[in-house]
Chain A
Amino acid sequence: MGNPALSNENKSKPHKPDPAITAALKGWKTHSGFWLKAAVAIGLTSGLLLIAQAWLLANIVNAVVFAKAALADVMPSLWGLLALFLLRAGLAWASEQAAFHAAVQVKLAIRAQLYQKVQQLGPAWLTGERSGDLLNTLSDGVEALEAYYARYIPAMSLMALVPLAILVFVLANDWLSAVVMLVTAPLIPAFMILIGKGTEKRNQQQWQQLARMSAHFLDVIQGLTTLKLFNASRREAQVVAQISDQYRQSTMSVLRVAFLSSFVLEFFGTVSIAIIAVLIGFRLFWGELDFLYGFFVLLLAPEFYLPLRNMGTQYHARMAAIGAAEKMVGILEEKGGEEGEVMCVPELRTHSLVLQNLSFTYPDARTALTNFSLDIHPNETLAIVGASGAGKTTLINLLMGFLQPQSGQILIGDTPLTAIAPDAWRKQLAWLPQKPQLFPGTVADNIRLGNPSATLEQVQAAAEQAYAAEFIVKLPQGYDTLIGEAGQGLSGGQVQRIALARAFLKDAPLVILDEATANLDRASETLVQAGVERLAQGRTLVMIAHRLRTVQTADRIVVLDQGTVSAIGAHAELLVSSPLYQQMQAAYGGEA
């Protein structure tokens, strides 16, 4: 899994170079299958039919004005015109469908890839990321790709094809107009690129601003109660106003340039058509050109510039996509490292877990573990104690494979942890974190997290063992009670006990408890402690603990001090041999 925690550096990293993002966006085209090509082909067909339509129209007007034709004379052409209209309406629909399909395929694929990658990078990596920011990338960011694939890419291809086809027909009828078109057409994309270059940077900033705004709102809303406690919630309204206003200003600064670029494009288009019209007008006046050809070319002239002008309006789709894709490329390129492939994990009930010379330093240079070695015996209950920041949390992150040591290794029997497939390894684990997360769904669903097919009886039995059954049956709908985010409506201790029931239900050989009883009152702590001891039967149990009372019965206690082992032993031994342990014991006095 490499070293995901290093990604914290990302925040200070400069922007990704645009070519890398553009290349990634182009690469993602493959997800769209043949739909993109279909959209372009349909668009081109429609363009060719448009030329035929202009030719028929010019013929009709010419016949009526100059050949004094009656309605009946031009009726066949009019019917032809009508048929073309219907056909083109159908093609417009078809091309919209094809383009949409193309974009949807990409969106689905990229969202799935991103989610999978985030999973692979794991919780230790997520700790360094703003979840509001990530959320925005995975939801709105992915949606922002739609316009790029559904509009920009087809428009880009049509820009090259349709004007070329028109040019051929114009050249055949009026070479002078063709020359004007040839000279003016390249100016449009040239200007567009010139202006676009300046906008891209700003657009990326704009996207970051949106992400920041999103993260800020999530933070404010989750902390609204805290703000109220400090009477700062009203003041925050001003901050909300300020951020919204900054967002407006930065968006407008991007849009101003985008609008200016389409202004320039439109201006060029209009001037060029005007030149063509004037040249045609005077040659008609002087009798140098037939009205039929003049009118035909004049009808085609706006169509010649239209795809070029469309480019301008689609261009910001490209910029929005680049802005959104920057973060995605960053995530997808994040080094997930190699995952082991061994599916067969040595039996933990008979094999030791060997931690050899582990060292771990966080990207902010905080050293968490130095040359840490420890054998965890099968079926033992091992407690890890130590002051805050002694490296306890890092140690269990390493054990669970969420972090990788910079040096040293973890062996299960003789198999290094790095060789084992993460899924296979996690099957051996049950984990009770400090702040368990409950997911939307019922209480029973939450207990079933690791074992969705468990029967209600099994769920009830697990809850019983975790001393959760008692309060669950008192909930309005018992096990079917729906749970809100972060278990709102449940107390911290109740959330802990639901999470403990999860661990009971999973029945894994290695159980990791992260200060599991921290939020339980003394009465339920005693009960849970008994439950934990029951869980420890025939399993390896590694627990981080603050309260020494809960570790007294552990087979061994590891006293951790600044990333190294200060002492190992049973409670009674340590009371004699470890001054640090004695201090901790003294601090707890009557509690212990």
Chain B
Amino acid sequence: MNDLLRLLRLFKPYWGWAALGMGLSFITLLANVGLMAVSGWFITAMAMAGVAGVSMNYFTPAALIRLAAIVRTAGRYGERLVTHEATFRMLAELRVWFYERIEPLAPAVLEQYRSGDVLSRIRADIDTLNNVYLRLLVPVVVAGLATLVFVVALLFYHPLLALLELSLLLVAGMLIPWLMNRLGHDAGQQSVETAAQLRSALVNDLQGMGELLVYGAADAHAAHVQQLSQTLAAQQQTLSRLNGVAQGALGLCANLAMWGMLVLAIPLVRDHAIAPPELAMLALFALASFEAVLPLPLAFQSLGETLAAARRIFSLADQAAAVSEPAHPLPVPERLDFALREVGFRYQLQGDAVLEGLTLDFPQGHKLAIVGVTGAGKSTLTSLLLRFREPSSGELLLGGQTIAQYSGETLRQHIAVVPQQTHLFNTTLRENLLLAKRDATDAELEAVCRTALIHDFITQQPEGYATWVGETGVRLSGGQAKRVAIARALLKPARLLILDEPTEGLDPETATQVMANILAHVEHNGQSLLLITHRSHGLEAMDQVLHLP
């Protein structure tokens, strides 16, 4: 329930929209019930007048019927427009809110989640939350108001009639939905989870299809997907079965209300306590009034699903970032003089140390190479310098102050990185490059691409710099993607350039040439260079070489 309230608070800017939608929905409902009731009365009264041969004022009821018909039709149209508009506005708000909450979690915290799973959260779960307003709030509020109005109106005729209406409305509007909620809770939650598992499995299978085929595991994985698909169907069936029972029971309640109304009102007609046309009116009124509670079983049934989605979204959004930003960050100094004093790092409290007792000076303009075996914490060092993670022990100083005193974001403005696993976005090559410098001119783009030896390849493409990069850059070969990433890093006006295995995937000639170009670029711009590599080759040009065990 706390999640629900929190959600409502997030929707605060749209409360006006929300209230308008509910108002329209309520008016539409009243018009519909009124239309049925008045029609029943009108027909019977006309017939009685005909039989008795007396005249009657048929203008007023006829005008009422027309009015109700118009309000009903137009009201429903307006209601749908407003409630959906409100829903989508809330969803957009929520999606941005969620993105802003997970953004600080990258990369340290998010690495623990699979990206298909995060995607499922940000999109599908948030979509599921449209239930909160459209299927939950609107129907519940409208049903509550309507029940009040109906029961009060019936009190004018007979308390028993009001009691009958109230009790059946409560059964249909509360007892049945409550039961549905209880019975559907587990299946609802499970189906959200199964759907997320299915998406995750599909992401992995699609990306690793080649290996699945070659290693003969494709059939097993297909069977797994099929099994998840069937599990999902079984969970959905439980929900559907409940839904069927609820719909049947609800219709039965409406019919019972009409039936009870007849049984109670027929003697009243005999006693002249109510006029005969009112019998038809009451019967039709009772039947129509249940439209108010029609959506409630579905609303409560989706509650389980909705709360599970909300829980998943909030649990991720509430994760603490791996690094806390200082309240009053120091301005980043002109020179990036780093100093490491006995720095150690371990991923888990009890885990092995990936860095231990590292002491090192890395002043502005220096070229430092770190050479070591895989997994020896070379990439971890990058994370520390970028302030993606905090050292577990020792001190990392920048300009003589501990690095924790600087804002990570401001610090990163001055650092350009080519990570070991590069990511190119699914957009044009130009857009990928411009990420480093929004206002870069074409000449600047060309210059860095020449430096990274990728310009010729790009201009050979039919669309040149406007060539679309496939998802995660897959349509480029590994070496081409790497060189685009190098060009992108060179474009960034940074004081420190970090290269994590920059020449992997390049053929030897290109690798040697690219490295020489990078060194020239670094020297020309007075940048510091941190080169992480496992090759002993090409280290002559470095000022310091640090061998990690």
Contact = CB atoms under 8 A, between A and B. Distances in A.
Interface string A237-265: 10011001101100110011001101100
Interface stretch (A14-22, A320-328, A336-344, A584-592): A584-592
A274 B38 CA distance: 12
B46 A221 contact: no
A69 B409 CA distance: 85
Contacts of B15: none
B417 interface: yes
B261 to A, nearest CB: 11
Majority secondary structure of chain A interface residues (helix, strand, loop or mixed) = helix
Given A219-B472, A222-B115, A284 B248 contact: no
A295 interface: yes
B269 A64 contact: yes
A45 interface: no
A85 B256 contact: yes
A306 to B, nearest CB: 13
A133 to B, nearest CB: 8
B283 to A, nearest CB: 7
Contacts of A88: 251, 255
A427 interface: yes
B144 interface: no
Most B CB atoms within 10 A — which of A224, A252, A433? A224
Interface in A323-370: 364-365
B475 A127 contact: yes
Interface string A261-305: 011001100110010011011101111000100110010000000
User: Which interface residue of B66, B103, B237, B537 has the most chain A CB atoms within 10 A?
Assistant: B103
Given A234-B103, A248-B92, A436-B211, A226 B373 contact: no
Interface stretch (B167-175, B226-234, B520-528): B226-234
Contact of A221 (B85, B115, B435): B115
A44 B204 CA distance: 46
A591 B374 contact: no
Contact of B259 (A82, A228, A298, A592): A82
B413 A231 contact: yes
B214 A491 contact: no
Contacts of A400: 210, 214
B208 A439 contact: yes
Contact of A122 (B80, B213, B230): B213
A263 B122 CA distance: 33
Given A140-B124, A228-B106, A277-B65, A237 B96 contact: yes
Interface in B30-49: 39, 42-44, 46-49
A494 interface: yes
Contacts of B202: 115, 134-135, 138-139
A450 B413 CA distance: 46
A248 B88 contact: yes
Interface string B389-409: 000000000000000000001
6 contacts: A74-B266, A122-B209, A220-B425, A234-B409, A285-B50, A488-B111
Contact of B88 (A252, A385, A471, A474): A252
A557 interface: no
B262 A78 contact: yes
Contact of B240 (A96, A234, A389, A584): A96
B471 A251 contact: no
B426 interface: yes
A318 interface: no
A489 B111 contact: yes
Interface in A102-123: 104, 107-108, 111-112, 115-116, 118-119, 122-123
A78 B259 contact: yes
